[in-house]
Amino acid sequence: MIDRILQDLEREGISYVPQLLDESALEAAHHFFEAHKINFSPAKVGASDNKKRVELLRGDFSYWLDPLLPPKELAFMFDFLNQLKKAVNNRFFLGLQDYECHLAYYPQGTFYRKHLDCFERDSSRKLTFIFYLNQNWLPEYGGELVVYNKDGSIKESYLPLPGTFICFLSDEYPHEVRCATRERRSFTGWIHNKMIY
């Protein structure tokens, strides 16, 4: 699996893996989510010294996790990310190092407008990864991740299907999260090319 992801990244800069998480991993993540919902805070936009909540740009809530202290309910995802990080570090010469990550939920009716994950002034985010933690999802719920080419055309649109994993080069693909008619849950993060822990 990791090999296939590396090949996709090399070829296209993006990789999509349906159902990477099985039912029991989703169930465990669901319990963790419910237990920690009060700890989530409104996600902001802007670089670290100038962060603001702008609901016209993004309406999600996030709960940051420390990769050095992975909760046992999320162990499968952290194990997978540690393998991915190691493989990516070996294969590419991007100087990739640590990752940062958070759980996220988008309340019904919220979205995240088109953006790039690496900031102009701090572009150390190299690889974006997302696991979708929704236990069920139908096309009519919306909430697609729409990935754009640099020329503004749509490259691909992905539904946040249960257990699906996506990763892409952070400075390559602008993307947006479309409005959903249900709460939309994910585990998202970035591998950086600098030490962050």
Question: Which residues are at the interface with ligand OGA (CB under 6 A)?
Answer: 104, 112, 117, 130, 145, 175, 177, 186, 188
User: Pairing relation of β-strands 61-65 and 41-42?
Assistant: antiparallel
Closest approach, Cβ 35 to ligand OGA, in A, equals 21
Q: Which is nearer to Mn ion, 88 or 145 (CB)?
A: 145
Tokens representing residue 76 in the block: 């499968």
Give the contact letters, 74-113, x = binds to Mn ion (CB under 5 A), - = no: ----------------------------------------
Which of Mn ion, ligand OGA, none has residue 172 at its interface (CB below 5 to 8 Å by kind)?
A: none
Closest approach, Cβ 175 to Mn ion, in A, equals 6
Burial letters for 78-112: b for 16+ Cβ neighbours within 10 Å, e otherwise? bebbeebbeebeeebeeebbbbbbbbbbbeeebbb
Using rule CB under 5 A, residue 117 touches Mn ion:
yes
Q: Which is nearer to ligand OGA, 110 or 188 (CB)?
A: 188
Helix ranges restricted to H, the chain: 2-12, 23-36, 75-91
Cα–Cα distance measured from residue 16 to residue 158, given in angstroms and rounded to the nearest whole number: 9
Q: Which is nearer to Mn ion, 117 or 172 (CB)?
A: 117
Longest dimension (CA), the chain: 42
Give residues in contact with Mn ion (CB under 5 A): 117
